[in-house]
Amino acid sequence: LFLNIKNFITNNIFYIIIFLYLLFTFGIFFLSDYINSANFTDGYILGGDSNRYINGANNLINFDYPKDRELSYIGYIFFIAIFQYLNLSLTFVTLTQIILTILSGLCIYQISKKLSSEFGGLFSISLYLFYFPLQIRNFYILTETIFICVLIFVIYFLVFFKKKYLPLLVFLILFYIIIRPHGILIVPSLILASLTWI
C-alpha cells in the first residue's frame, strides 16, 4: 500500500502541487478575514490604484480613450475593460489572474526543468505558487499579477524559442511594456541577455 502511494505521488507530483495550490488559494479566500489588510468577501479587493484602472476601463469601453497617467497602464486597463465589456464582475478578474498564475507556474516548472532537473522544476514551482505575499496579490485589482505572469511567459518563449512563437513573443513583449510604466525596461534587459548569451 505504501509503495503504491509513493508511486502515485512520484508519478503525479506536479498535479498534486497544482491541487495543493488551489487549496492554498481557496484557503486565502476563505480566511481573508484573518489576514491583515485583506477582505475578499466580494471575491476581490481594491488597492490604491484600482479605481484608476476601473475608471479607465469604463472610459475605454465608452470610447473615451485614456489620457495622461492612465496611458502608462493601458495594458491593464484594457485587460479590465474586457471583463467590463462582457458585463462580468471583478471577481472574474481575480479568477483569471489565478489561472494565469497557474499557467506561469507551469512555465517556471518547464524552464527550471530544462535548465536544471525535475527536482529543480518542482522546487521552483513550489516556491512560486506558495509564496504568500505574491499569491495574495491575485485577489487585488492591481497590475502585479499580470505584470509578473507576462514576464514569465516572455522568458518561457525565449527559452523554448521557435520561429512560430515569434508573433506571440512580440505581442507579449509589447503587452508587458504597456502594463506598467517601467515595463519598457524589458527592452534593455532582453538586449543585455542576448549579448550575454551570444
> Using one digit for the tens of pLDDT, what is the confidence trace for 136-148?
888 889 999 999 9
User: For a pLDDT cut of 90, what percent of the chain falls above it?
Assistant: 41
In this predicted structure, the answer to whether residue 110 has a pLDDT above a threshold of 90 is yes
Query: Which candidate, 193, 124, 123, places its Cα nearest to that of 159?
Result: 193
Confidence of residue 175 (pLDDT cuts 50, 70, 90): very high
Distance CA 157, CA 170 (A): 10
Confidence of residue 77 (pLDDT cuts 50, 70, 90): very high
pLDDT in tens, 89-108: 999 999 999 999 999 999 99
User: For a pLDDT cut of 70, what percent of the chain falls above it?
Assistant: 89
pLDDT at position 81: 94
Q: Report the 10 Å Cβ neighbour count for 27.
A: 10
Which has more pLDDT, 82 or 7?
82
pLDDT at position 34: 60
pLDDT at position 37: 56
pLDDT in tens, 32-56: 666 655 666 677 888 788 888 998 8
Average pLDDT over residues 156-168: 91
Beta strands (DSSP E) in 25-182 are none
pLDDT at position 107: 95
Question: pTM value?
Answer: 0.86
Q: Is 161 left (phi over 0), alpha (psi -120 to 50) or beta?
A: beta
Query: Which candidate, 133, 142, 134, places its Cα nearest to that of 53?
Result: 142
Average pLDDT over residues 119-133: 90
pLDDT at position 143: 92
Instruction: Return the residue matching grid coordinates 519598457.
Output: 184
pLDDT at position 100: 95
pLDDT at position 64: 81
